Copies of this chain bind each other. A is one copy, B any other.
Amino acid sequence: MVKKFVYFFGGGKAEGNEKMKNLLGGKGANLAEMAGHPALKLPVPPGFTITTEVCTYYYENKRKYPKELLNQVKTSIIRIEKLTGKKFGDTNNPLLVSVRSGARKSMPGMMETVLNVGLTEKTIPGLIKKMNGNERFVYDAYRRLIMMYSDVVMEKAQGIEPKGDDAGIRRQLERIMDEKKKAKGVKDDTALSAGDLKELCRAFKQKIKDVLNKEFPDDADAQLWGGISAVFASWNGKRAISYRRIENIPDEWGTAVTVQTMVFGNTGEKSATGVAFTRNPGNGDNHFYGEYLINAQGEDVVAGIRTPAPINENSKGEYNKSLTTLEQAMPQAYKELNDIQLRLEKHYHDMLDIEFTIENGILYMLQCRVGKRNGLAAVKMALDMYNEKLIDTRTAVSRVTPAQLDELLHPIVDPNEEKIKKPLAKGLPAGPGGAFGMIVFTAKDAVDWFKEGKSVILVREETNPEDVEGMRAAKAVLTARGGMTSHAALVARGWGKCCIVGCADIHINLETKLMTVNNKTFKEGDWLTLNGTRGYVYEGKLPMVDQSANNQVLLSFLKLCDAVKRLGIRTNADTPDDAKKAFEFGAEGIGLFRTEHMFYGKGAEQPLFLLRKMILSKTEAERKKALDELYPFIKADIKGTLEVMQGLPVTIRLLDPPLHEFVPQNNQKRMELATSLGISFEEIEKRAENLHENNPMMGHRGVRLGVTYPEITEAQIRAILEASAELLKAGMKVNPEIMIPVVSDVNEIKDQKAIAEKIYKEVLKKYGLSKITHLLGTMIEIPRAALLANQIAESAEFFSFGTNDLTQMTFGFSRDDIGSFLPEYLKKEILPNDPFQIIDFSGVGELIQIGIERGRSVRNNLKVGICGEHGGEPESVKFCHKVNMNYVSCSPYRIPIAKLSAAQAVLEEGVKIKTSVKKGSNASRKPKKSKNKSKSKKK
């Protein structure tokens, strides 16, 4: 049996279909589907696809083809000839074809194409006749063929690499053409006459011979095989290879080659070409949407020389509202096209991007594929199609990427503006969305300017807790140092505030209040615009697109995610405001309430003062006194949040950071503390200095504070339990979970648990209660805690993985200090990602798995969650799902992303789940494609 290397399509039939992308490439498979599927049988110009297996063979056999190929191609050409009535290389009615690449996965612009193949001195006259004597059209096609062919087939495919951008054959031919235009005193190509073009073709051929030492093959077959070879050769072109590296596309996939009858949208006023989408890809509206040009070729639509016209009223915009629509200009063709797009969307169950050409009034479909869309459109289409019963819940959930969802959560810089602006500098995208504002260099200025009603961007070397008020007042934050988990990044992300960190090009002079960026100087008050989603800094004010109007769409979509996901989604929230926002997005509890957060920001002056007093106490007596003063604040803080959460679990983490973080640097504040403590300024200085640590991240913090100063643990646990007791007495529900941070040994928990048990008894007695439901658990953020999780789970009632610290310890990476080497690590691909952004599955991930397995080996219902920043990162959320965590916790603005990712994690496991598609909605409608899609995402 002869192996099949060529798949024909055309005349209402096709040997392939859209499921055969691996063999035929995306383009070939979709052309076959459109041409041959019984439900479609669309007007596709006939052609055939040479399979990707030939590509593999070609590279495995020193660029030779399987011997069967020649015949199969010949036979296919004959089939085309039969269907079109034209003949390849014929003098009277010549057939022209395009030769295009098409890989399994789209690699836009990475591989080569040759058009107008089959046009030779011999076939030109016939074509002119067929084109009603349009000589100019034919010679224009011919010069295009020569330019493209010499470039793609005769130069690039031969591995010739001319030195310099300007040295290639194509550029040399272009220069000849430029000279011609100059000589003729014209500007546009279109102003050249048929005679001019004829001369150019001659000159081109001579140049090619001179430069490449070869004749341009003026023979149809030679052109065809040259084109095929060039496409295959382009699979291993430099650009294609590096694109595959980035996109992780295996070299073995190879490309297919599709040879297809040429049709022309540029034969006159009855011809046109266009690109359309079955729905609006910019906002998701369910309207046919597209652009076209009369008397043009496909590349003209893209090139932007002429303004394309809208295909219909719905496609009109400011810039093209006065142009004639296709519907008006060619009503018959438009009707046919509209009919086709409706059928296509029903068939594919997705929004499609289609390319069409009308040649002398006859419509041809040249391409169809799932259309790209922006975030709003993706969400809206998924929701609409779900409501239209075109897709089921799972499919709807699979249709939106986390990045697309994120677009709905923040105002963004107008993408059209960004296309034409060059960033001033780039940093790390630490807080999403866009913002513009006047720059200020101190937190105080930010607050003052904000009070004056100004929009400001706070620009700092790096931020610290004393900057928090300024950060809150600012529209956006920009820092020169720090990584994705620096203070600025953490705080900004928590608030969903636009923020760029680690923007190393920025140099701030605090004294002069000037900033230089790549030799440009900016003064206080100058405008900048930040794209925090990409990390781009722009000069001046760029317009914004506000997405908040689409909140309802977002929430409806999240309901679909909820129906699919199994992982619980909690939030990291330190204030009732945070909690409220999280509630809106459907948070199922608080996974991380940081007690220390009450000491930052507005209204925190007094608690902070008292905390500092406690920290700078030297004796237990001093400390207890300060704690007593502080106690009402702690209790009120906790009570407020427990109340807001109405019985949902609230995980309250005991004091975590090294104490020195709270020590004021400011002398006046130090003096106030000294007075309050009744000690000298020198003594305060000394005590502050004693708190200094070489590596505070691994120093006296978390449970180590609780062990050495049990009175601090006592006060906090008493506050939690008394707040709970008071709410219970008032008839409310509470569900506090006390969480011990920085644990490395079960004995630490036992030590703290003994305190908790003592306090619990006291509180029950004080309030006359028999029970206050609560849990006592631990963070797992130290490698040793993960390893000894079986011991730890004997005392801890829940685990919450603190993946920020766990990543720090597992890698030995201080997240504050990675700026000096991580960029180089990513550049050299030593690490695939910043492990503080995406969980390091192999290292940190193994510790997490070990921790969960060992923990549950002694407490099989152990509740396990994650409360690091990873809890809102899609890949990490999926990981958490895979390792059977009960929940992830993330900042309020990351909840939607977490929900989507949790739902998509379910899809990826291929498990059947409850779907809310109503009965009667035909199961066969569920496109098999969606399964492929979700599979391909697994990578």
| Interface residues of A, Cβ cutoff 8 Å to B | 693-700, 704, 707-708, 742, 744-745, 747-748, 751, 781-784, 787-788, 805, 808-814, 816-818, 820-821, 824-825, 828-831, 840, 842-844, 846-847
A707 to B827, CA, bound (A): 11
Closest partner residue, chain B, to A843 (CB atom): B784
Asked if B695 and A824 make an inter-chain contact with CB atoms under 8 angstroms apart, the answer reads no
Choose among B828, B829, B843 the residue that contacts A783 (Cβ–Cβ < 8 A).
B843
Give CA–CA (A781, B825) in the complex, Å.
19
Chain B residues near A821: list those with CB within 8 A.
700, 704, 707-708
Is B745's CB under 8 angstroms from A693's CB? Answer: no
Instruction: State in angstroms the CA–CA spacing of A811 and B808 once bound together.
Output: 12
Q: How many angstroms between the C-alpha atoms of A820 and B742 in the bound complex?
A: 15
B contact residues around A811 at 8 Å (CB): 698, 744, 782, 784
Are A782 and B812 within 8 A (Cβ)? yes
By CB atoms of chain B within 10 A, which of A699, A783, A788, A808 has the most?
A783
| One of B742, B744, B781, B817 near A843 (C-beta < 8 A) | B744
- Rounded to whole Å, the gap between the CB of A616 and the closest CB of chain B is 14
Q: Please state if A784 and B829 are interface contacts (CB–CB under 8 Å).
A: no
Contact B784 A844 (CB under 8 A): yes
Q: Is the CB of B817 within 8 A of A696?
A: yes
Smallest CB-CB A-B distances: 5 pairs = A695-B814, A784-B843, A698-B814, A699-B817, A747-B830
Residues of B within 8 A of A707 (CB): 821, 824-825, 828, 830
Closest-CB distance, A686 to chain B (whole angstroms): 10
Q: Tell me how far the C-beta of A712 lies from the nearest C-beta in chain B, rounded to whole angstroms.
A: 13
Given A700-B820, A783-B847, A814-B699: A829 touches B747 (CB 8 Å cut-off): yes
Give CA–CA (A805, B695) in the complex, Å. 13
Contacts of A694 in B (CB 8 A): 696-697, 814, 816-817
Q: Once the chains bind, are B704 and A816 in contact (CB under 8 Å)?
A: no
- Chain B neighbourhood of A818, CB < 8 A: 699
The answer to whether A828 touches B697, judged by C-beta atoms less than 8 angstroms apart, is no
Contact across chains for A698 and B812 when beta carbons are under 8 A apart: yes
**Contact present for A842 and B787 (CB under 8 Å):** yes
Chain B nearest CB from A59 CB (Å) reads 27
Assembly CA distance A747 to B808 (angstroms):
18
Q: Which residue of B lies closest to A744 (CB)?
A: B811
A694 to chain B, nearest CB (A): 4
- Whether A751 and B828, one on each chain, are in contact in the complex, defined by CB atoms closer than 8 angstroms, is yes
Other-chain contact of A788, B695, B812, B824, B842 (Cβ < 8 Å): B842
Measured between C-beta atoms, what is the minimum distance from A386 to chain B in Å? 43
- Tell whether, in the assembled complex, residue A847 and residue B787 are in contact, meaning their CB atoms are under 8 Å apart: yes
Residues of B within 8 A of A704 (CB): 820-821, 825
Which residues of chain B are near A830, meaning CB under 8 Å?
A: 707, 745, 747-748, 751
Min CB distance, A131 to chain B, in Å?
A: 59
Give min CB distance, A823 to chain B, whole Å: 9
Say whether A693 contacts B844, CB under 8 Å. no
Task: Assess the A831–B745 pair: CB atoms within 8 A.
Answer: yes
Bound-state CA distance A11–B847 (Å) is 67
Nearest CB of chain B from residue A657's CB, rounded to whole Å: 12
When chains A and B are docked, how far (Å) is the Cα of A698 from the Cα of B695?
8
Question: Measured between C-beta atoms, what is the minimum distance from A404 to chain B in Å?
Answer: 32
A333 to B295 alpha-carbon distance, docked (Å): 133
Contact, CB under 8 Å: B843 / A699: no
The CA-CA distance from A811 to B748 in the complex, in Å, is 12
Name the distance in Å between A437's Cβ and chain B's nearest Cβ.
28
Q: What are 14 pairs between A and B in contact, CB < 8 Å? A: A693-B814, A694-B814, A694-B817, A699-B814, A700-B820, A704-B820, A704-B821, A704-B825, A747-B828, A747-B829, A751-B828, A782-B810, A783-B809, A805-B812
Please, how many angstroms separate the alpha-carbon atoms of A823 and B811 in the complex?
27
Whether B742 lies near A817 (C-beta < 8 A) is no
Contact between chains at A698 and B787 (CB < 8 Å):
no
- Provide the residues of chain B in CB contact with A787, threshold 8 Å: 810, 842-843, 846-847
- The smallest beta-carbon distance between A825 and chain B, in angstroms, is 7
> Closest Cβ of chain B: how far from A850's Cβ, in Å?
9
Residue of chain B at shortest CB distance from A846 = B787
Residue with the greatest number of chain B CB neighbours at <10 A, chosen from A698, A782, A828? A698
Nearest-Cβ distance from residue A460 to partner chain B, whole angstroms: 16
Report B-chain residues with C-beta under 8 Å of the C-beta of A695: 695-698, 814, 816-817
Known contacts A693-B814, A707-B824, then 15 further A-B pairs from the complex at CB < 8 Å, ordered by chain A residue: A695-B695, A695-B816, A699-B818, A700-B820, A744-B812, A745-B830, A745-B831, A747-B828, A747-B830, A782-B811, A782-B812, A783-B809, A784-B844, A787-B842, A787-B846
How many angstroms from the CA of A818 to the CA of B699 in the assembled complex? 6
- Closest-by-CB residue of B relative to A702 is B812
CA distance A868 to B787 in the complex (A): 21
CB < 8 Å: which of B782, B805, B824, B840 contacts A784?
A: B840
Taking the closest CB of chain B, its distance from the CB of A416, in whole angstroms, is 39
CB-based contact A810/B824 at 8 Å: no
Closest Cβ of chain B: how far from A583's Cβ, in Å?
A: 34
If A744-B811, A812-B782 touch, whether A824 touches B708 (CB-CB below 8 Å) is yes
A707 to B821, CA, bound (A): 8
A517 to B805, CA, bound (A): 39
In angstroms, how far is the closest chain B Cβ from the Cβ of A508? 13
What is the bound-complex CA distance between A812 and B824, given in angstroms? 26
Complex: A153 Cα to B3 Cα, angstroms:
104
A697 touching B698, Cβ below 8 Å: yes
Distance A700 CA – B813 CA, assembled complex (angstroms): 9
Interchain CA distance A848-B170 in the complex, whole Å: 61
